[in-house]
Chains A and B, each alone.
Chain A
């Protein structure tokens, strides 16, 4: 199903990311931050979709652990990679905004620190998958579930602790002119996420098919080899 949508998703994503800069340029300047606030239109949607990616990874990790669904494992791996990609975008664009708005590149604020922790957890997921050896999928799945559990803390951190970071109330209170480009960018990032997820799942499926072929060959080899003892 997801694979059949790839051509549509590719076109829709390209159109959305071609239109987004026009809408962002036309959006009015925010009163206190001016031009640099326009980083918000890519930074916040990337953060929202990063949360979604972490949930997709966590839910599918649980499905893999408790139901042994191979498809869920492929989805979890793909979503973990995208969480790291989107997290990298969030953690780099945020400090570029902060430098102008707060006067510092980085501060150990709860939102920033928890976001970094989330990124590191999904980085750990990928490291376990890559270097964990046999059974690494199950260990990584546990990391994925814990990573997902971190998401609500990242989200509410700005409301619970004293922080420099804008609160979650900023998005619902966006006025006309600021609201439209923001939600358009959220849709663009959702399309990009779905497209990359479909492609990454396809890669995982192809790799699984290749591994199965190699195993099949290895099973056949001793019987067909000349001089083999049966």
Chain B
């Protein structure tokens, strides 16, 4: 069942990606500039601050690495416990 679900997820990603990519782009490239506008005059949705993006990028990198290290630590611990339990249970 798990294998079937994993295969389905993989196929969906492989087929769905190109189909999604083939959709016409919603946002057209911006037209050539014919006047300069002070940044303060831009609508709020276009005044995008850089700091949250920068902090978000660094935070994500740290979270990804720490989650991976945590998973590795847990798996190493579990395998070592199993090995120890087997060693103890086997008479020499």
The verdict on A71 contacting chain B, using a C-beta distance below 8 Å, is no
Q: Is the interface of B mostly helix, strand, loop or mixed?
A: helix
Contacts of A203 in B (CB 8 A): 72, 75-76, 79
- Count of B residues near A, CB < 8 Å? 35
Kindly identify, within residues 14 to 45 of chain B, every residue whose CB is under 8 Å from any CB belonging to chain A: 14, 17, 21, 25, 27, 30
Contacts of B48 in A (CB 8 A): 99-100
Question: Interface on chain A toward B: helix, strand, loop, or mixed SS?
Answer: helix
Q: Are B86 and A89 in contact (CB under 8 A)?
A: no
Interface residues contributed by chain A, number (CB under 8 Å): 43
Shortest distance from the beta carbon of A156 to any chain B beta carbon, whole Å: 21
A92 to B59, CA, bound (A): 11
**Which residues of A sit under 8 angstroms from B69, Cβ to Cβ?**
196, 199
Pairwise interchain contact A97-B57, C-beta atoms closer than 8 A = yes
Query: B residues touching A (Cβ–Cβ < 8 Å)?
Result: 2-3, 6-7, 10, 13-14, 17, 21, 25, 27, 30, 48, 50-51, 53-54, 56-58, 60-61, 64-65, 68-69, 72, 75-76, 79-80, 82-83, 86, 90
